[in-house]
A and B are shown apart, each in its own frame.
Chain A
Amino acid sequence: MNAQRAASSSSAVLEVRDLAVEFPGHGAAFRPVRGVSLSLERGQRLGLVGESGSGKSLTALALMRLLPRQARIAQGSVMLDDRDLVALSEREMTRMRGGRIAMVYQDPMSSLNPVQTIGHQIAEAIRAHERVGRNEARGRTIELLRDVGVTHAERRFDSYPHEFSGGMRQRAMIAMAVCGNPDVLIADEPTTALDMTTQARIIDLLDSLVAERGMAVLLITHDLGVAGSFCDAIQVMYAGRIVEAGEALDVFGHPVHPYTEGLVASICELDRDVDKPIVTIAGQPPLPQRLPHGCPFHPRCPAAESVCSESEPALLQLRGGRRAACHFADARLDRTA
C-alpha cells in the first residue's frame, strides 16, 4: 500500500503499520481501529485528531498495549526501533512502558494515587526503571518537578495530589511519564480537562521537553486548535481509519478530504463572522459496528458521488507529502492549491 511505503523511513523511532483493534461484540466482531499506520521521528510532534468514536484513543492504548480486556490487536505491527511491541510478552512490555514509550492521560486526578504523595509516586516510577537508592530517586524527582515547572519542588515533593491544582497535577503526570527518558511520549488529550491559560502553559512545557530531550510526541486530541498550535504533522481519523495526513499547516490550511474540510469549517474561531451561521457537517459519525458501505464518510459528505457508496477509498499518496483517503483526492488537491 502507498500509505505504508510513505510511512517507512529509516529515522523513525516509532513505526506503526496497519494496526487494527477488534472487539468481540454481540454477534459479529467489529473493529473500531481499521488499519492505522503512522511514523514518528525523534523530536517530531504528530497530532492524531478526530472526534469521539473515531478510534484515536484506542489507537493510543493499543500502542501502549493497554487495551480494555475484551479488545485485542487483530493485525499490524508497532515497531519501536527494531522491536515489535505487539509481539512482546507482558513482562517485556512492562519494561518498555515508561522506559521507552510513555503516556500522559487526560485526567491527572484519576491517574494519580490520591493517598500517596506526588514525590513518592514519581520516585517509585524512577525506581521501577533504574536501580537507584531512595535518596537519589528523591533528588532526581525534585529535579524533574523543577524541569516541568513545579515551583517549590522540594516542598511539593511531600504534597498529595489533592493539594495540587489541575495544571500542577498534569505537570506531575508529565514528570512521571518522562522520568525514564522515553523515546516516545503519547499524550492523550493532555490539556482537555484544564483551564485555557493552563492549557497554553502545558503545551509550552511539552514544547520545551521536545526541544530539550528530543522526545517524539504523539498528541491525541479532538481540539484542532491545540493540535495546530503544537504539531508539525497531522493525521485525521474518521471511523477507525486515517483519512488525511500531512504537514499541520497544509492539512488545516488547505484540507483535501471533505471530512477535514468540514471539521476545519466548523471550528468556532475567534475571527468568525458572527452574523453568519457556522457551516456544519450534517449528521454524525457512524458506529464501528454499523459502518456504511463504501467510504464511511459518504452519507455525510457534500461531495459524494455514486462510487463513494460502492468502494472504500485507499489512503493515497499525493503531492507534497500529503495523503488522503478520498476517491477525488487528486482533483480536490488541485483545487485547494
Chain B
Amino acid sequence: MTTRVAYADTVSGTGASQPLVQVEDLARHFRLGRGHVVRAVDGVSLEIQRGETFGLVGESGSGKSTLARLILRLDTPTSGHIRFADRDLLASSADELRRLRRRMQVVFQDPFTSLNRRKTVEQIISLPLTVHEPQLDRAAKRARVSELLDLVGLRPEHARAYPRQLSGGQCQRVNIARALALGPEFVVLDEAVSAVDVSIQAQILNLLRDLQRQIDLTYLFVTHDLSVVRYMANTIAVMYLGRIVEIGPRDELFGDPQHPYTHALLASIPSVEHRRVHAASNVVQEAPAGESGMIAGCRFHPRCPLGHRDVCRTQDPQLREIAGGHSVACHFPQSAESLVAAAASS
C-alpha cells in the first residue's frame, strides 16, 4: 500500500532486531471503593516482534482486553512501561502520540456496533483519512477507499452501502479496511472473529493472514479461542486474572503445555469428532464470582487440582523459563499426563 512508503525511514531507523512493542511490568488497577481494588492487569511483560502475530488468550476477566487497550494507549496504566517502535508511549507528548497512533489500529469483536450505521462504507473508511491526512482531496480519498475495499475482498459498489445492508462478515471486512486506511504497522484484533459464523470466521482468518503477508503487518491477536490462536499466532501468552501464566512459541506451548490452567483450557475445547470425556474438563473448578486480585499465593490455586499444596496458597509463582522462550508461572509445571494423574490421586 502506498501509505507505508511514508514510514520507510522511521521503520529502518529503529534497527531490525528491535521488537515493535515492548511491555514491561505493566499494571492497571481499578479502585472500586471501600478499599476494593481489581488488578485487571498486574505485572505483565512481553515483547512483540515485527511481522509476527502475538496471541493473547484467556477467559473473561483475564485482563487480555485491558492489556490490549493499554498497549494502544486507550487506557492509562497504573504502573509499568510501554514502548512502541522504540518510543516510550507513556512519556510521549500528545502530538507525538497522535503520530504514533496512526501506526497502530484496532478491530473489535462486534462487526455491527463498531460501525456508524448512519454512514456509508465509503464515509466510514475515509474518516481516518479525513482526520489524519486532511490534505487529501476527494478523488484521492475515493481512490484509497476503493483500493482498501479491494484489499479486504469487498466490491467497489459496497462503498455506497450502509452497514445494515451488509452481512456480519462484510461488516468485519469494513472494520478491517478502516483499520488499514492509514497504513498501520501494528493492528490489534480484539476477538475480531468471535462474533461471526464458522464459515465467515474462516474467510476472515484467511484474509488476515493474507494481509499480513501482503503489507507486512504485526498483529496482537486477542481471543478466548485456543484453536484460533494456535492457527494465527507465532507466540502465545495465556492470561489468567491479570497475569501471564504461560507464554511461548506456538509449537512449544501447544506441543508441551505446562500450566494447569492451559491444560484446563485445552481440555474444555469441544470437538465435533467425539463426545467429550467429562473427567478432562473437571480438572478445574468453576471460576468464582467476584473480583480478582484478592487471592493470596497463586491466583489459580482455588481452581487448581494441585492448589492444596502450601506453597501454592502462600507464594505467588513468577514466570520461569523451562525451554527456549517457553515460560510458566507455576510452582509445579507439568505435562498433561502427570497432571491428570496428580489430580486423580489427590
Contact = CB atoms under 8 A, between A and B. Distances in A.
A166 to B, nearest CB: 7
Contacts, number: 144
B9 interface: no
B73 to A, nearest CB: 28
Contact of B203 (A149, A165, A280): A280
Contact of A228 (B203, B206, B273, B278): B273
A163 interface: yes
A199 interface: yes
Interface stretch (A174-182, A271-279, A317-325): A271-279
B59 A272 contact: no
A228 B276 CA distance: 9
A153 interface: no
B265 A252 contact: no
B270 A165 contact: no
Chain A residues touching B, majority SS: helix
B169 interface: yes
A262 to B, nearest CB: 7
Contact of B227 (A229, A248, A270, A280): A270
Nearest to B281: A200
Interface in B186-233: 197-203, 205-206, 209-210, 224-228, 230-231
Nearest to A225: B270
A227 B276 CA distance: 11
A197 B199 contact: no
A277 B286 contact: no
Contact of B202 (A196, A228, A248, A268): A268
Contacts of A51: 197-200
Given A201-B282, A278-B206, A263 B269 contact: no
B275 to A, nearest CB: 6
B271 to A, nearest CB: 6
Contacts of A278: 202, 205-206, 231
Interface residues of A, number: 49
Contacts of B227: 268-270, 272
Given A52-B168, A196-B269, A197-B281, A165 B289 contact: yes
A229 B269 CA distance: 9
A163 B290 CA distance: 8
Given A229-B276, A263-B198, A199 B268 contact: yes
Contacts of B269: 196, 225, 270
A127 B55 CA distance: 50
11 contacts: A168-B289, A200-B268, A201-B286, A229-B272, A264-B272, A270-B271, A274-B231, A277-B209, A277-B210, A284-B167, A284-B199
Interface of B: 59-60, 167-170, 197-203, 205-206, 209-210, 224-228, 230-231, 250, 254, 264-276, 278, 281-282, 284, 286-290
8 closest residue pairs by CB, A with B: A228-B272, A200-B281, A200-B268, A229-B270, A266-B202, A165-B289, A225-B270, A195-B59
